[in-house]
Amino acid sequence: MTRLSWLATLLGLAGLLPFIVCGFAAVGQSTTWGLPALVSYGAVMLGFLGAVHWGLALAPQPQGAAAPPEVERARLLLGAIPALVGWVALLVPRWVGLVVLIAGFVGVLVVEGAGHKRLLVPPGYMWLRWILSIVVIAILITVLVLRLIGARLLF
């Protein structure tokens, strides 16, 4: 597998911007769109993370180098489950949706970490995923806690 390109890294980091903007808006006094936008974007991004693994499962393999059937099944499951988790996050009350998203992002990260140990993800992928996931999970937890205690920012 190849290393991640600079463009993949740049786009991954840029994907944090909506989390940051919506996270601030979700705890701002003058906004009502922040929390729904945050949960919606989180659901979309979980689906995207799943799509990465769906793509790895469907990518052509070099002659004679097919992935074992259990690896292909695991990749396809990891390709589908995050989108379903994101969908559930959209169906439940918003604060519950935050909890579902936190669990989803943690779950994907744990499973990807196990895949990394088996060399099933591209080199360079996991360091970027760790950075992105830690920031996303921190934002989701912060918004959840601030919303539960009723705190609001002054903008």
The domains of the chain are located at 6-58+68-149
Predicted pLDDT at 59: 81
User: Which amino acid does the sequence have at 68?
Assistant: P
Could you read off the pLDDT tens digit of each residue along the chain, which spans 155 residues?
A: 457 889 999 999 999 999 999 999 999 987 889 999 999 999 999 999 999 988 888 888 776 667 778 888 888 999 999 999 999 999 999 999 999 999 999 999 999 998 888 878 877 889 999 999 999 999 999 999 999 998 887 65
Contact 121, 56 (CB under 8 A): yes
Three-state SS at 29: coil
User: Which amino acid does the sequence have at 123?
Assistant: P
Predicted pLDDT at 74: 87
Q: What's the length of the chain?
A: 155
